[in-house]
Structure 1
Amino acid sequence: MTQSPAKYDVIAIGNAIVDVIARADDAFLATHALTKGGMQLVDAEMAELLYSEMGAAVEISGGSAANTLAGLAAFGKSCAFIGQVRDDQLGQVFAHDIRALGIDFDTPVRTAEPPTARCLIMVTPDAQRTMNTFLGASQFLPAQALDKDMIQAAQILYLEGYLWDPEEPRAAMRTAIAYAKEAGRKVAFTLSADFVIARHRADFLAMIEEGLIDILFSNDDEIRALTELDDFEAAVAAIAPKVPVLVCTCGENGAIAIVDGVRSETPAAVVERIVDTTGAGDLFAAGFLTGYVDGLSVEDSLKLGAIAAAEVISHYGARPEEDLKLLRVKKLG
């Protein structure tokens, strides 16, 4: 079929979350039995308790896929977001923040409980972030909320693995994949976390085998979890032939991409001081996808990912603060 011109570079489906970020010491984590550097799901009661005992905080719209779109928009890409919020104060905060970035967001709000999702992030002096997520309304995204025309008007549909957990948005994302494939568009998927893979490994592997994923984002731990192989290179070798584009980040060791069987690598970008690692993977995906839709080489796309990740870990929060378009020119030319 002949593709119609794309209105959007990327449309993403993900958790619509407001991030609440505050400094904390190891004693605070121990007092509340929080696993340092981890991410756990909490109920409304625990979310309220942690929020009441956190120090002074920065509150900003978040969520993994939404963070990636924020990076893409900062690079000048045209984006849209699909995610569920409640008609409450945090829902309004989320909608205002994401639209202020120039990202289209028109998902109808939910009028029933639970409230809008929030992620309580404690950042320790060593820049490790401990995330406590109350998923709230984001878990109730129905397929009926999808705009088929909007999905089919994007070059790439980007899906957040975290949202695969609840049944309703999982069904919505399957519908979105069908819409994108019908229009001949690309589907990108981020594995998100080991605990998500543990619950949905069979689903993810089936989608890969069926050719539904064109671009797969992972980190070194996640690719091992997906394949149940301890050796990173063996894990990469098991998945790479099954997806057109595989991107794996490896923390301070940089990142690799295997595109149609050809491997490219980049070192991690130099960071003067690491402040907060929240959103590093999300912004790496933003940089790589920017290069991808702009037709850059795989090597330069990886470098752009590393540049974006380095920027976001140099300050608190998962959204870029510097002008990414200027950084791109400065560091890539």
Structure 2
Amino acid sequence: MTNSTYDVLAVGNALVDVITTAEASFLESHAIPKGTMRLIAADEAERLYGIMGAGKEVSGGSAANTVAGIAAMGGRPAFVGRVAADQLGEVFAHDIRAAGVAFSTPAMVDGPPTGRCLIVVTPDGDRTMSTYLGACQELSEADIDPEVVRASQILYLEGYLWDPIVPRAAMRKAIEIARAAGRKVAFTLSDVFCVEGHRDDFLGLLGGHVDVMFGNENEVRALYRTDDLDTAMSELARHATIAVVTRSDKGAVVIAGGERHAVPAEPVARVVDTTGAGDLFAAGFLSALAAGRALPDCARAGGVASAEIISHYGARSEGDLKALVAARLG
């Protein structure tokens, strides 16, 4: 696509991740469902932060992780997300800009603090997230710059941000602008709880507002209220222009134009932390899509990026993603 300043513009939660390791018994003793993402209030965030072990702080947020990955692959991404004028807000802004992502959303002077995601990684590499959204929920339509949307090949939105009402209106505005400008719109279902809370909205987005829909197999099953993945994917094939279903170590399936492309997972010597696996898969996929690659190659690029991210702690790449993808795709 011509005349674009950015390959991908993402709209999402601007969060700082606090990552620690613990046994599954820690989650059980505090009634935290293992392997899920849940929203918590400010007081619960403070309490949980106090009882977690020593943690590593790194800028996160699902769509923010995706655009950081796109930048690492040599792409031209931009991000819209709300932080507060506080220490964590400064950390987030510094990190995402240093990663090579354009970020100009002004920090809030008044209101809730910058959001944070408290992540517990168990010995099996599974991650359990407790998220305090804070300032994220204040993202408004005024934060959407129509010129930046029009100047981006692909608009990418995260389902996590669909929960609060004000950001939802901002994303709907961004979708309208992108569609009117002939730009592609991509959306990630994010989590089963997002799907269950906003199923009708997400199905509505599939019905003509979104070009590329990402979801893992659990999210896709939840979307169509079925335990059978084939049934869910058959329904998805009827509604989505391009649907991307990730299946952990089983790889991914891309559904488009009546065809299914099954792409195996990339080999990983050891799974350390699955935080950001889906985010980086989307990064690889969208980066390749913006470059005009065929859909199976987009999924392979996603698999390479995902494999790199689960080989270490945190959702920001440590290896040379650009080189890894180039070596895989040629």
TM over 0.5: yes
Query: 1-side partners of 2:14 and 2:25: how far apart?
Result: 30
- Counterpart AA for 2:84: R
Superposed CA deviations along residues 159-215 of structure 1, whole A, max 9, x for unmatched, are 000000000000000000011011110000000111111111111111222x10000
Aligned identity (percent) is: 54
- Pairing of 1:1-333 with structure 2 (within 5 A): 5-209=3-207, 211-333=208-330
- Counterpart AA for 2:211: D
SS in structure 2 opposite 1:320? coil
Superposed CA deviations along residues 299-319 of structure 1, whole A, max 9, x for unmatched, are 211111111111000000011
Query: 2-side partners of 1:240 and 1:112: how far apart?
Result: 45
> How far off its partner does 1:121 sit?
0.4
Query: 2-side partners of 1:288 and 1:163: how far apart?
Result: 21
> How far off its partner does 1:281 sit?
0.5
- TM-score, length of structure 2 as denominator length: 0.98
SS in structure 1 opposite 2:32? coil
> How far off its partner does 1:4 sit?
6.0
Query: 2-side partners of 1:294 and 1:265: how far apart?
Result: 21
- Counterpart AA for 1:64: S
Distance 1:123-1:67 versus aligned 2 partners, 3 A rule = same
- Counterpart AA for 1:332: L
> Mind listing any 5+ residue stretches in structure 1 that lack a counterpart?
none
Query: 2-side partners of 1:294 and 1:200: how far apart?
Result: 32
> How far off its partner does 1:11 sit?
0.1
- Counterpart AA for 1:192: S
> How far off its partner does 1:296 sit?
1.6
Work out whether residues 241 and 260 of structure 1, in 8 Å CA contact, stay in contact via their aligned partners in 2. no
User: Which runs of 4 or more aligned residues in structure 1 lie more than 4 Å from their structure 2 counterparts after TM superposition?
Assistant: none
> How far off its partner does 1:55 sit?
1.7
Query: 1-side partners of 2:31 and 2:229: how far apart?
Result: 31
Mean alpha-carbon deviation: is it higher for 234-243 or for 10-19?
234-243
Q: RMSD of the alignment, in Å?
A: 1.1
Query: 2-side partners of 1:201 and 1:127: how far apart?
Result: 29
Work out whether residues 215 and 244 of structure 1, in 8 Å CA contact, stay in contact via their aligned partners in 2. yes
Query: 2-side partners of 1:23 and 1:206: how far apart?
Result: 39
SS in structure 2 opposite 1:229? coil
Superposed CA deviations along residues 281-327 of structure 1, whole A, max 9, x for unmatched, are 11111111111111222221111111111100000001111001111
> Mind listing any 5+ residue stretches in structure 2 that lack a counterpart?
none
Superposed CA deviations along residues 236-295 of structure 1, whole A, max 9, x for unmatched, are 111213222110001111100012222111111111000000010111111111111112
- Counterpart AA for 1:49: R
SS in structure 2 opposite 1:256? strand
- TM-score, length of structure 1 as denominator length: 0.97
